[in-house]
Amino acid sequence: ETSQIAGRTLVIAADTLIENAIAGDGSDLLIGNSADNSLWGMRGNDTFHGGAGNDTLFGGAGTDTAVYAGRRSDYLITQDPDGTITIRDRLTGRDGGDSLHGSEILEFLDGSVELISVDVADQTVAEDTPWSFQLPAGIYPEDRGEIHYTAMLTDGSSLPRWITFDEVHRGFSGTPPPNFTGLLSLTVVAAGTNFIGLSTFTVAVSANNHAPVAVTVGNNASVAEDMVMTGRVPPGFDEDSDHLTYELVAPVVGLTFNADGSFHYMPRENFNGTSTFRYCVVDASGAKSEPQTFTLTVTPLNDAPAGLGLAGGAVAEGAAPGTVVGSLSARDVDGDAFSFSLLDDAGGRFALSGKQLVVTNGSRLDYEQAGSHQITVRASDSYGASADKVLTLTVLDIWNEIITGTSGRDVVAGGSGRDKLSGSAGNDALNAGAGKDVLDGGSGNDRLTGGAGQDWLTGGLGKDVFIFSSKDTSPSKKNADYITDFSGKHGDRIDLKTIDADATKKGDQAFTFTGIQTFTKAGQVQYEKTKLATYIYLNTDNDKTAEGIIKLKGAIDVQKGWFVL
């Protein structure tokens, strides 16, 4: 309930229901009881005795006095940010804690003091940032005796540990701890001989942006040699929980680095070992961490030899076995020892002797048959890795060839020079080509073709075939091809089937064997036996003379079955 009276003494008796009292315009005396009273002095010079309880005293106009039963030192005096002065009795059960609005004088048992309230500017500071503030000089009456200063929070509690108050210089200093933000209300009490000065201000501590931190663990990745590495740097840490990006400090060859911390690394070919890059963590405001090193490890793999090549590569036809064709080379990026082998020796024509490529069968190196041959070479290192390469070898033409075959089946061809071809053992095929050539089939059933020019043909042991084409032999006895050892009885034969026996007719006609009889028409074969030689005559037109003559050593009775007509 509320009671109102003017110019009188107003006492709220103990145990009454009256809690609030409003005085009038005079100089009133308002006395509360033990309840929490609200007393309004209104106009005039009013005096308040709040008594026990937590009272609210409104002085209003005039010079108003709040009276307390104890000494000044028994009370804690603070001021809220809104200007409300709080008087707290340090002793329980006496005056309680009062809130004063508009009271100018405090009266204690040991004397009265004037209340002076001075506004002080509010302060701002960022967390983890040094701060200092000094009360302006002269804000309290310095001519009224010595002044003692104390500082506290407005609720009467002590200043936080990070704030220091220097009474002598009226100064505050301190550094808000990291991550501390908020609003602090501070009260400075200036206690003079006959006054109490109060100043309340706020310290607003704002958040300070902290640079992010790059973590020191997990900064490594590995990949096998010649493989692509993809990865991501470890997530950075930010006290402010900002969105973070990542930035490469300096470019690295083969590295693509993205803002989300992911990366793509392609080591150079055959590289193994370690490579590094440095990165920073960046927050939304652009603050960066200290650079952090990330290590990229490329584990080695065994590389096959590379760069396989041949120095040289040309050889004369009919070259002797062991003739060096060229020297092989390669390289191994791992420094391993390596060796060469032949996967394809061009049909037995070539072999390896260490790093050298040599001829094994020169009789099969015949320019007239093939101007080049291919081989396949393998280079293998000591760990089994290998590389293959096809190499082309050039066969050089020799004008006057001298070729000796092997014990196998050889196919040998001459050129336009004076060639000497020998089949040696085996069933060989010798073709001398143009020129005045010497052919020796050797042992075996051989096929000998003299070709154009006056040739000297020896079949050797075996059943040999002497092959003639048109104009392979001369129409004169002096320049005729000469077979030195023809033996029809032992299986030798003369092959004329590629010659058109009658040039006067269209098509390809076969010869007719007439023995020793003279020519009567085209297409006839006859022979003439002398003491030292036998001559075979070939007539291909109607002039009844030979267009080709083959000379056989010795006097031989030639038979029809010895010809392929």
The helix (run of H) or strand (run of E) holding residue 496 is none
Show the domain range for 383: 306-396
Q: What's the CA gap between 146 and 239, in Å, rounded? A: 47
Q: What are the Cα distances from residue 73, in Å, to 89, 142, 196?
A: 9, 21, 12
Q: Which of the 8 DSSP states describes residue 490?
A: G
Say whether both 132 and 162 belong to one domain: yes
Please tell me the predicted confidence (pLDDT) of residue 7: 53
Q: What's the CA gap between 139 and 481, in Å, rounded? A: 144
Q: Is the pLDDT of residue 251 over 90?
A: yes
Q: Which of the 8 DSSP states describes residue 215?
A: -
Q: Of the candidates 174, 206, 238, which is a domain's last residue?
A: 206
Please tell me the predicted confidence (pLDDT) of residue 25: 75
pLDDT tens per residue, range 430-472: 998 888 989 999 999 999 998 889 999 999 999 999 999 988 8
Say whether both 549 and 437 belong to one domain: yes
Query: What percent of the chain is predicted at pLDDT more than 90?
Result: 63
Q: What's the CA gap between 11 and 6, in Å, rounded? A: 13
Nearest to 325 by CA among 395, 413, 397: 395
Would residue 464 count as lying in a domain?
yes
Say whether both 250 and 391 belong to one domain: no
Say whether both 141 and 198 belong to one domain: yes
Q: Is residue 93 very low, low, confident or very high in pLDDT (cuts 50, 70, 90)?
A: low
Q: Is the pLDDT of residue 4 over 90?
A: no
Say whether both 372 and 327 belong to one domain: yes
pLDDT tens per residue, range 370-427: 999 999 999 999 999 999 999 999 998 888 778 888 888 888 887 788 888 898 899 9
Mean pLDDT taken over the chain: 90
Q: Is the pLDDT of residue 1 over 80?
A: no
Following DSSP, what letter does each residue of 39-108 receive, concatenated?
A: EE--SS--EEE--SS--EEE--SS--EEE-SS-GGGEEEEE-TTS-EEEEESSTTSS-EEEEES--EEEE
Q: Please state the rounded mean pLDDT for residues 97-126.
A: 91
Q: How many helices (H) and strands (E) does the chain have?
A: 0, 50
Please tell me the predicted confidence (pLDDT) of residue 19: 64
Would residue 514 count as lying in a domain?
yes
Look up residue 80 and give its two tokens: 């809220």
pLDDT tens per residue, range 10-50: 666 555 555 677 877 778 888 888 888 888 888 889 888 88
Nearest to 496 by CA among 513, 483, 482: 513
Q: What are the Cα distances from residue 323, in Å, to 69, 313, 358, 365, 425?
A: 132, 12, 5, 12, 22
Look up residue 105 and give its two tokens: 């004088």
Would residue 215 count as lying in a domain?
no
Q: Is residue 247 very low, low, confident or very high in pLDDT (cuts 50, 70, 90)?
A: very high
Q: Of the candidates 254, 270, 299, which is a domain's last residue?
A: 299
Say whether both 202 and 232 belong to one domain: no
Q: Which of the 8 DSSP states describes residue 489?
A: G
Q: What's the CA gap between 335 and 166, in Å, rounded? A: 76
Q: Which of the 8 DSSP states describes residue 304?
A: P
Say whether both 230 and 133 belong to one domain: no
Q: Is the pLDDT of residue 3 over 60?
A: no
Q: What's the CA gap between 486 and 554, in Å, rounded? A: 9
Please tell me the predicted confidence (pLDDT) of residue 34: 80
pLDDT tens per residue, range 528-562: 999 999 999 999 998 889 999 999 999 999 999 99
Please tell me the predicted confidence (pLDDT) of residue 29: 87
> Which CATH number does the domain housing residue 339 bear?
2.60.40.60
Say whether both 291 and 325 belong to one domain: no
The letter for the amino acid at 323 is T
Residue 161 CB partners (closer than 8 Å, separation 6+):
none
Would residue 343 count as lying in a domain?
yes
Q: Please state the rounded mean pLDDT for residues 95-103.
A: 86
Please tell me the predicted confidence (pLDDT) of residue 471: 83
Following DSSP, what letter does each residue of 228-279 receive, concatenated?
A: -EEEEPPPPB-TT----EEEESS--TTEEE-TTSEEEE-PPTT--EEEEEEE
Would residue 211 count as lying in a domain?
no
Residues facing 296 on adjacent strands? 221, 275
Say whether both 356 and 276 belong to one domain: no
Please tell me the predicted confidence (pLDDT) of residue 8: 57
Phi, psi of 490 (to 5 degrees): -100, 15
pLDDT tens per residue, range 303-349: 899 999 999 999 998 899 999 999 999 999 888 999 999 999 999 99
Burial class (CB in 10 A: 0-12, 13-18, 19+), 538: buried
Say whether both 487 and 430 belong to one domain: yes
Nearest to 263 by CA among 230, 217, 297: 230
Would residue 245 count as lying in a domain?
yes
Q: Is the pLDDT of residue 126 over 70?
A: yes
Say whether both 187 and 268 belong to one domain: no
Query: What percent of the chain is predicted at pLDDT more than 70?
Result: 96
The helix (run of H) or strand (run of E) holding residue 360 is none
Q: Please state the rounded mean pLDDT for residues 512-525.
A: 94
Contact between 431 and 449 under an 8 Å Cβ cutoff? The reply is: yes
> Which CATH number does the domain housing residue 145 bear?
2.60.40.10
> Which CATH number does the domain housing residue 112 bear?
2.150.10.10
Q: Is the pLDDT of residue 2 over 50?
A: no
∠ Cα 170 71 161 (to 5°): 35
Nearest to 418 by CA among 384, 462, 460, 451: 451
Would residue 214 count as lying in a domain?
no
Contact between 127 and 176 under an 8 Å Cβ cutoff? The reply is: yes
Contact between 317 and 396 under an 8 Å Cβ cutoff? The reply is: yes
Please tell me the predicted confidence (pLDDT) of residue 455: 92
Q: Is the pLDDT of residue 428 over 60?
A: yes
Would residue 359 count as lying in a domain?
yes
Nearest to 291 by CA among 299, 282, 283: 282
Residue 460 CB partners (closer than 8 Å, separation 6+):
423, 440, 441, 442, 443, 444, 446, 485
pLDDT tens per residue, range 256-294: 999 999 999 999 988 999 999 999 999 999 999 999 999
Q: Sheet with 262-265: list strands edge to edge.
A: 229-232, 262-265, 255-257
Q: Of the candidates 206, 236, 261, which is a domain's last residue?
A: 206
Say whether both 334 and 390 belong to one domain: yes
Say how many domains are in the chain.
Answer: 5
Determine how β-strand 171-174 pairs with β-strand 131-134. antiparallel
Going 184 to 185 to 191 to 192, the CA torsion angle's sign is: positive
Residues facing 67 on adjacent strands? 49, 107
